[in-house]
Amino acid sequence: MWGLTTVVAAFALALVVMSFTFMGGAVIVAVPLALIAVGIAAFLDFKRRRKTAQSIHTHRHDDDVEFTDRDRRTLVSE
């Protein structure tokens, strides 16, 4: 899990636990706020992972491979 996601999830959990501890109207505010914070952190994490995956594909070379006669004899298609 990414560092920021862990911190945001811990903060959201702390908000929910605090709201239940004080048993006030904080539950109405803390639970949606925690869900929004976790959702934003997940969105940023997915965005970062997608960007990383795309950067890997840009480094891949699509060069044509030249096979020698010996290579063609040893290649077996099944």
pLDDT tens digits, residue range 63-75? 677 778 888 788 7
Q: Distance between CA atoms of 61 and 7, rounded to whole angstroms? A: 38
Q: What percent of the chain has pLDDT over 70?
A: 76
- Predicted structure pTM score: 0.48
Q: Distance between CA atoms of 53 and 47, rounded to whole angstroms? A: 10
Q: Distance between CA atoms of 51 and 43, rounded to whole angstroms? A: 12
Show the CA angle centred on residue 50, arms to residues 1 and 42, nearest 5°: 40
Which of 13, 10, 2, 16 is CA-nearest to residue 44? Answer: 2
Q: Distance between CA atoms of 41 and 5, rounded to whole angstroms? A: 5
Whether the predicted pLDDT of 3 surpasses 60: yes
